[in-house]
Each structure stands twice: as structure tokens, then as C-alpha cells.
């Protein structure tokens, strides 16, 4: 599959722009989107735990 002629011309124009701007090397293996902002992490909500009181202890407190 061949690229469309206008795609090739656009790529050449972009490379020429960066060459004229003084960029001589690519330092990473792939493109990096520097405008991407990662969403904030959602913190886990702590669940309240129920306290367990033995039935005998409640009866002893009521009598005392």
C-alpha cells in the first residue's frame, strides 16, 4: 500500500521544518504525547467495620 502523495509531501514539509529549526537527532524510540495529562488516581474508600460484642458481655454490663 502506497502513501498518498499529499501525505508524503506533508511529511517532507514537517521534517524540513524541524531541520530548519535546528533539530538534528531523535532521542527516543517512539513519539511521546507531551500534552497528555493522566487522570488523577481514585483513592479507595475505607469501609467501616462493625464491632462485635459477645452477647454475654452485654448481659453482664446490664446487670453490673
* 6, part of any domain: no
How many beta carbons lie within 10 A of that of residue 51, not counting itself?
5
Classify residue 15: in a domain, yes or no: no
C-alpha cell belonging to residue 63: 446487670
pLDDT digit string, tens, across residues 3-58:
677 789 998 998 899 888 887 777 788 877 888 888 888 887 777 777 777 777 55
Cell of 64: 453490673
Q: Residue 62 falls within a domain, yes or no?
A: yes
Whether 54 is in a domain gets the answer yes
Give the number of domains in the chain: 1
d(CA 57, CA 20): 84
Q: Is 59 a member of any domain?
A: yes
Residue 45 belongs to what domain range?
37-64
Residue 45 counted as domain residue: yes
* Alpha helices in the chain, H assignment, sequence order: 5-21, 55-63
CA–CA gap between residue 24 and residue 16 (Å, rounded): 11
What is the reported pLDDT for 31? 76
Amino acid at each position: 500500500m502506497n502513501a498518498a502523495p499529499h501525505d508524503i509531501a506533508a511529511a517532507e514539509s514537517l521534517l524540513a521544518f524541524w531541520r530548519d529549526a535546528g533539530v538534528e537527532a531523535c532521542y527516543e524510540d517512539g513519539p511521546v504525547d507531551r500534552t497528555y495529562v493522566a487522570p488523577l488516581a481514585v483513592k479507595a474508600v475505607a469501609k467501616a467495620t462493625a464491632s462485635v460484642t459477645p452477647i454475654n458481655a452485654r448481659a453482664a454490663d446490664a446487670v453490673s
